[in-house]
Amino acid sequence: MAPRKNKTLTQNLDWIAVLIYILCVLIGWFNIYAAVYSPEVPTDIFDLSHRAGVQMMWIGTTVLLIICILVVDYKFYDTFAYVIYGLFVLLLIAVLFAGSEINGSRSWIKVGAFSIQPAEFAKLATSLALAKYLSDPAVSLTRSWKDYVPIAGIICLPALLILLSNETGSMLVFASFAVMLYREGMPGIIPAVGMVMAILIVLTLLVLKWFIALGILVVAGLVIWLMPKGTRKNGGTTATVVVAGLMIAVVFGMDFFINNVLQKHQRSRIMVLVDPYSDPRGAGWNVIQSKIAIGSGRLAGKGFLEGTQTKFDFVPEQSTDFIFCTVGEEHGFIGSAVVVCLFVGLIMRLVVLAERQRTRFARVYGYCVAGIIFFHFMINIGMTIGLMPVIGIPLPFFSYGGSSLWSFSILLFIFLKMDSQRPYTLSRT
Amino acid sequence: MKKGNTSEKEALMKRAYVVATILVLLAVVVVGRLVWIQRVAVYKGKTWKERAEASTMRMDTTQAMRGNIYASDGSLLATSIPYYYVVFDAKYPDSLFLAHHLDALADSLVSAFGRHTKSGYKSMIEKTRKGGRSTLRLHPRAISYRTRERIKRWPFFRRGDDTLKAANGKILYRKTIAGKFTTEYRRYRPFSPMADRTVGTVNSENGRGRVGLEASFDRQLAGTNGASWVQVLPRGVRLPVSDEFNLHPEPGHDIHTTLDINFQDVAESSLKKALEKYQANFGCVIVMEVATGKIKALSNLTRKGAGQFVDDQNYALAMGADPGSTFKLATMMAVLEETGIDPEKVWVDTGKGRLVYRGLAINDAHRGGFGKLTASQVLEKSSNIGTHLLMQRYFYSKPDKYLAYLEKFRLKNRTGVHMQGEAAPFLRDRDSKLWGKTSLTPMSYGYDMRMAPIQILALYNAVANQGYWVRPMIVEQIRSSSEIVNTYEPYVTPSPICSERTIRLVQGMLEGVVQRGTAPELKASPYRVAGKTGTAQKIVDGKYMARRGLRVSFVGYFPADRPKYSCLVMVDNSIAGGSDLYAGEVAAPVFKQVADRIYAYDLSLHEPAQLAPAGVPAPVKWAGRADEVEVMAKVLNLNTPPEDESDSDGTPADSNRWMQGSTASEGKTKWVARSVEKAQVPDLRGMSLRDALFIMENRGFRVGFKGSGKVVSQSLAPGASIAGAKRIMLGLE
């Protein structure tokens, strides 16, 4: 009845996305080599004693993984979504008790010589579980508030477990599901409020809280003054005053939160956004280094392996979280812009692909993938250029590390597999 | 319902565009930010690009601890002492902690240094905290280790107890140790100014040896400095780069020299006295062990005015100059080697002490001349004319032969002592344009050449060492803490530099110099000295100027019969001291003083006299304190010595009552009390070393001994008066 499926593994694969993916991984690999390269001890890019060589191995294993994903029937993910989710939740619990500690976070499982971070894979499992739940036609985000409860549960359970293992960065990534939820009907006010809050937080850091309060009051006054009379009479004034009051409360609350609740190292990570020299040897270090590296790159950069700031391992995360500095320094504005374009292109492509899915499961999953990659991209590049606080999350496909590369590749290719099977599925929204 | 559903679906699909738009907007923000950082952003007056240029990699070096220099007896000649600068990182501590402890810190600073008032110190720290730099030197001068240990107990410097916890267990502050110390090693010479130039100095800028042993062995002493990469950020913030690039400092090796601090002291003080007495310009003394070439003392002094001396030039090694008459030894040796003449039977006529030979004026110092002299007397009286005549007679026909002898005597090359700055000897070459028919004449009595004192001493040392030339050495061992890195063995030529006959003859002549010749001052020594005076005119502006004072020297060895040490004294006289001062008057007395005191100090030079036992029936079996002898006799089942009367009435045994036992007939031991008088040298034979030491050291003697067992001989005869004597040598068996 239905056309034959799976003639070849790569049939119907979206080559645009695959091409961008391959470019990202290769550029990332070269930049890892550049980041760990030291002119005194030149090593080969294939040298397994150093990170570029190890990354090559990870890339190799990733290719095998991708083949496995393409072999497995797409229905597998639909069918086993909850099982996979449950498995990773268990792993996250296990890691709390039996994990090995690396860099202060107890979130690694040692498999032979390699360490694997279940938190990286939890995003994938959560995406599948959310897609599975939302694929139920009875579930609606526009009509019933009750449906939000299980969704919140699915997201918060792994997020909390990750927080417990001290991986704040990975936990924050779970906020990226907002993109998908918004697309699936969550009221726009929720992300809007979130963004306003974020802006207010940054403002609180930059400007005296009294000025912000004054600004909010002025804006509120203008809003009331410009408001059509009918709206004003219909409780518009009250609403505006309440909103303004809430915003001022948020500003003061934030101020209190930053100064009194946050731990010192967390506070300094936020404070360096404003002035990296407030802690030049701590949190500000990375930011200073990063800005100097990117700033010195200029238009075309210093050239491959010619970077000076990114050598000598100034920043321990040079090849992982701060890989973008290497791009900025050695390939300049052009290189950085190319990387930004690759990401924007990939995310846009994912959105397009998600939109063309016939099943809600695939669309939701597609949006999750797009959201996660988008979030990582924004936070990671944002922190290297001083737009975001230093949150240790990797740049997808670029950063050194097996867990990260594997998880993003699996995340992406499961979706591409679903997409390739699109002609054979029945529309069911 | 269906329609509503569709419109809702369409509305939701539009959200894809919202998402895409926001994504593009954010991407634009990112790109914009990139441009901003690269082109526009100015942070505290500088763009990030300028900052990149300003922030550079630096190699921070950590000074390695320099090795020590030791004398042969283990005395420390030079060492490095750490000093510390007190540094405070005002930006580091948590504000709360700073607020709590700033007062205490300022108080401590006032009481320890007191350069500023309490508020002065406080504002200094607060200003730094607010200002551009972060670190601050709390005291401009470096402090000692002891002060540092005290400061380590101050707040901001001490560890551990400063973490304040709030009631809920929350730690209120963490960053408390803002104080630190930077180390600077300074070179310290405990015996300074003694042997200053020999030990040498260190460049305070780079810590490398400048002169002396410090420079000669700089590579071994220096160790390897540690190196660590830091990145220097604006405002002087230094960020250490990862540890894998860093080198940890390796301390330097220790140098164990052959110098003896006592010899050095003797040499230096004697030389100083002479320089002061004759208002001389400068001088040097070298004392060397004959058999090994170990330099026991190396003193160089420059007189900088009345009573002021500095050890700043290594004359002994570096001053290549005409040696003068001390070189006649080499000529005499060459003559004896070449001709085999009997120096007592060969005569030369030196006439009235004035001779002009082929336009070359040759003078003898002795007014009126020496007249007829034997070859031996030529050397003993140091006759220039006589030396010239011998040279003319035996070598004028074959100058190459003479030069070959000098080479054989090892006078053509440096000795190769392990110390920088030894001047290369210069002897006129036959190929030289300046070689003339009379060139051999000035050469024969030590002119027209350049020799460093150490090279002349090496020749005399070879004579003392029965013709075997020994390379002077000043460093015995290089050690790294307790581990021996390198040991320098003495170098002795495998064959003598001349025949045994020649050695025997010149040894006799050198003794003759003292007994009958130019150095009668040395005659009155308890030991015999052999040596030679040398008086050289100095070259001023290329001419020999006798009126400018003479450079005088005495070089020789002692005791002449069994040479242990060779020594050279050189003094450069000034006009003020008198232009007619000869070596015998100036240098020989210094030599005597040095030799006398070394003789007194080195007990191995004292030979115990083999005395026939006088008034004591032989053989003495043992002698000792009466009470101990009794115990011993009981234990050994010998017939007990007579009971001491004092014992029987209960008074304690006199610890100064001594007894001796000797074998009488039938295996019986005969016990006699031995008198140990205060004013006389006691009979120590038969006593144990412990008892002998007890008795003699109580009389203020220095006791040396050879062998082990009981005393069988003593260098001072029993019963002799002890007045004036201070040393005794014992033979044990």
Average pLDDT over residues B396-424: 90
Give chain B positions within 8 Å (CB) of A355. 13, 16
Check if the beta carbon of residue B442 is closer than 8 Å to that of residue B322.
Answer: no
Residue B140: predicted pLDDT: 85
The listed range with the strongest mean pLDDT (A176-190, A341-355, B352-366) is A341-355
Distance CA B175, CA B108 (A): 20
Pairing state of beta strands B46-47 and B56-62? unpaired
Q: Kindly write down the DSSP assignment for every residue of A256-298, as one continuous string.
A: HIIIIIS-HHHHHHHHHHH-GGGSTTTHHHHHHHHHHHHHHHT
Query: H or E element: which one contains B126?
Result: helix B118-130
Distance CA A327, CA A312 (A): 16
Nearest chain A Cα distance for residue B20, angstroms = 7
Residue A330: predicted pLDDT: 87
B615 pLDDT tier (thresholds 50, 70, 90) = very low
* Longest CA span, chain B: 152
Q: Which two tokens stand for residue B13?
A: 């699909």
Chain B touched by A116 (CB under 8 Å): no
Chain B touched by A345 (CB under 8 Å): no
Give chain A positions within 8 Å (CB) of B245. 312
The yes-or-no verdict on residue B716 having pLDDT over 80 is no
Cα–chain center distance at B576: 32
Chain A touched by B229 (CB under 8 Å): yes
Looking at the DSSP bridge assignments, the partners of residue A110 are: A115
The yes-or-no verdict on residue A373 having pLDDT over 90 is yes
Residues in CB range of B175: below 8 A, 6 or more apart: B92, B93, B94, B97
pLDDT: is B717 or A19 the higher one?
A19
Nearest chain B Cα distance for residue A386, angstroms = 9
Nearest chain B Cα distance for residue A48, angstroms = 18
The yes-or-no verdict on residue B406 having pLDDT over 90 is yes
The neighbour count for residue B83, using CB atoms within 10 Å, is: 18
Cα distances from B526 to residues A300, B523, B595, in angstroms, run 92, 9, 11
What pLDDT digit, counting tens, does each position of B188-205 carry? 888 878 888 888 888 877
The listed range with the strongest mean pLDDT (B151-165, B183-197, B484-498) is B484-498
Query: What type of residue sits at position A232?
Result: R
B465 pLDDT tier (thresholds 50, 70, 90) = very high
Nearest chain B Cα distance for residue A186, angstroms = 9
Nearest chain A Cα distance for residue B103, angstroms = 24
Which residues of A, range 269-328, sit inside 8 Å of B by Cβ?
277, 280-281, 285, 288, 291-299, 308-309, 312-314, 316, 328
B641 pLDDT tier (thresholds 50, 70, 90) = low
Which residues of B, range 510-549, sit inside 8 Å of A by Cβ?
none
The yes-or-no verdict on residue B54 having pLDDT over 60 is no
Chains A & B: contacts with CB separation below 8 Å:
119
Residue B501: predicted pLDDT: 93
Which residues of A, range 181-200, sit inside 8 Å of B by Cβ?
182-185, 188
Residue A141: predicted pLDDT: 80
Query: What type of residue sits at position A57?
Result: M
What percent of chain A has a predicted confidence (pLDDT) above 70? 84
Distance CA A397, CA A378 (A): 14
pLDDT: is A22 or B368 the higher one?
A22
Give chain B positions within 8 Å (CB) of A260. none
Residue B709, class by beta-carbon neighbours within 10 Å (0-12 exposed, 13-18 middle, 19+ buried)? exposed
Name which of B23, B52, B231 is nearest A348 (Cβ-Cβ): B23
Contact between chains at B23 and A347 (C-beta distance less than 8 A): yes
Q: What is the mean pLDDT of chain B?
A: 81
Instruction: Give the CATH class of B57-192+222-253.
Output: alpha beta
Check if the beta carbon of residue B280 is closer than 8 Å to that of residue B271.
Answer: no
Distance CA A309, CA A286 (A): 11
What angle (nearest 5°) sits at the alpha carbon of residue B666, between those of residues B662 and B667?
45
Check if the beta carbon of residue B46 is closer than 8 Å to that of residue B38.
Answer: no
Residue A371: predicted pLDDT: 93
Chain B touched by A340 (CB under 8 Å): yes
Residues in CB range of B625: below 8 A, 6 or more apart: B655, B657, B658, B659, B691
Query: What type of residue sits at position B347?
Result: W
Residue B173: predicted pLDDT: 64
Chain A touched by B24 (CB under 8 Å): yes
Radius of gyration, CA atoms only, chain B: 40
What percent of chain B has a predicted confidence (pLDDT) above 70? 81
Contact between chains at B30 and A385 (C-beta distance less than 8 A): yes
The neighbour count for residue B628, using CB atoms within 10 Å, is: 16
Q: Which residue has the tokens 């000035």?
A: B442
Residue B203, class by beta-carbon neighbours within 10 Å (0-12 exposed, 13-18 middle, 19+ buried)? middle
pLDDT: is B111 or B3 the higher one?
B111
Contact between chains at B52 and A292 (C-beta distance less than 8 A): yes
The yes-or-no verdict on residue B332 having pLDDT over 90 is yes
Give chain A positions within 8 Å (CB) of B242. 312-313, 316
Asked which of A207-216, A342-351, B313-322, B558-567 is least confident by mean pLDDT, the reply is A207-216
Query: H or E element: which one contains B356?
Result: strand B354-357
Contact between chains at B241 and A314 (C-beta distance less than 8 A): yes
DSSP H helices in A227-263: 229-231, 237-256
For an interface test with B, the pick among A281, A338, A376 (most B C-beta atoms closer than 10 Å) comes out as A281
**Which of B122, B90, B102, B121 is closest to B237 using CA atoms?**
B90
Residue A212: predicted pLDDT: 82
Distance CA A99, CA B188 (A): 56
Nearest chain B Cα distance for residue A199, angstroms = 14
The neighbour count for residue A152, using CB atoms within 10 Å, is: 11
Specify whether the backbone of B709 is left (phi greater than 0), alpha (psi in -120 to 50) or beta. left
Residues in CB range of B714: below 8 A, 6 or more apart: B608, B609, B611, B681, B683, B684, B685, B728, B729, B730, B731
CATH topology of domain B264-605: Beta-lactamase (3.40.710)
The dihedral formed by the CA atoms of A245, A248, A249 and A251, expressed in degrees to the nearest 10: 160
Residue A100: predicted pLDDT: 66
Residue B271: predicted pLDDT: 92
Distance CA B169, CA B151 (A): 30
Residue A127: predicted pLDDT: 95
Average pLDDT over residues B573-589: 73
Contact between chains at A183 and B229 (C-beta distance less than 8 A): no
How large is the angle between the packed helices A148-164 and A75-98, nearest 10 degrees?
40
Per-position b or e across B500-538, b if 16+ CB within 10 A of its CB: eebbebbbbbbbbbbbebbbebbeebebbbbbbbbbbbb
**Which of B327, B315, B319, B326 is closest to B284 using CA atoms?**
B315
For an interface test with B, the pick among A184, A267, A312, A339 (most B C-beta atoms closer than 10 Å) comes out as A312
Q: Convert B374-398 into a string of H (helix), E (strand) and C (coil).
A: EHHHHHHHCCHHHHHHHHHHHHCCC
Give chain B positions within 8 Å (CB) of A185. 8, 12
Distance CA A61, CA A241 (A): 58
The listed range with the strongest mean pLDDT (B130-144, B354-368, B380-394, B693-707) is B380-394
**Which of A335, A315, A330 is closest to A383 using CA atoms?**
A315
Average pLDDT over residues A94-114: 69
Distance CA A383, CA A315 (A): 13
Residue B240: predicted pLDDT: 63
Looking at the DSSP bridge assignments, the partners of residue A399 are: none
Cα distances from B200 to residues A308, B71, B213, B301, B570, in angstroms, run 43, 14, 5, 13, 20
Please, which contacts does B673-676 make with residues 24 or more away whose CB atoms are closer than 8 Å? B673/B626, B674/B623
The yes-or-no verdict on residue B642 having pLDDT over 70 is no
Average pLDDT over residues B578-596: 80
The yes-or-no verdict on residue B503 having pLDDT over 70 is yes
Q: Which two tokens stand for residue B235?
A: 């405002």
For chain B, the structural domain boundaries read 2-54, 57-192+222-253, 264-605, 611-676, 677-733
Residue A314: predicted pLDDT: 52
The yes-or-no verdict on residue A289 having pLDDT over 90 is no
Q: What is the CATH number of domain B677-733?
A: 3.30.10.20
Name which of A183, A185, A308 is nearest B19 (Cβ-Cβ): A183
Give the end-to-end CA distance of chain B in Å, rounded to a whole number.
130
pLDDT: is B276 or B3 the higher one?
B276
Residue B564: predicted pLDDT: 92
Specify whether the backbone of B185 is left (phi greater than 0), alpha (psi in -120 to 50) or beta. beta
Q: Kindly write down the DSSP assignment for every residue of A30-52, as one continuous string.
A: HHHHHHH-BTTB---TT-TTSHH
What pLDDT digit, counting tens, does each position of A57-98 carry? 999 999 999 999 999 888 898 899 999 999 999 988 888 887
B654 pLDDT tier (thresholds 50, 70, 90) = low
**Which of A391, A347, A352 is closest to A369 using CA atoms?**
A347
> Do the first three CATH levels of B57-192+222-253 and B264-605 match, i.e. the same topology?
no
The yes-or-no verdict on residue B97 having pLDDT over 70 is yes
What pLDDT digit, counting tens, does each position of A393-428 carry? 889 999 988 888 999 999 999 999 999 888 777 654
Distance CA A162, CA A123 (A): 11
Residue B608: predicted pLDDT: 58
What percent of chain B has a predicted confidence (pLDDT) above 90? 20
Residue A241: predicted pLDDT: 86
Q: Kindly write down the DSSP assignment for every residue of B661-716, as one continuous string.
A: EEE-GGGPEEEEEE---SSBPPP-TT-BHHHHHHHHHHTT-EEEEESSSBEEEESS
Distance CA A289, CA B580 (A): 79
Asked which of A414-418, B133-137, B282-286 is least confident by mean pLDDT, the reply is B133-137
Residue A3: predicted pLDDT: 47
What pLDDT digit, counting tens, does each position of A111-161 carry? 666 677 888 889 999 999 999 999 988 888 877 788 889 999 999 999 999
Residue A2: predicted pLDDT: 45
Residue B167: predicted pLDDT: 61
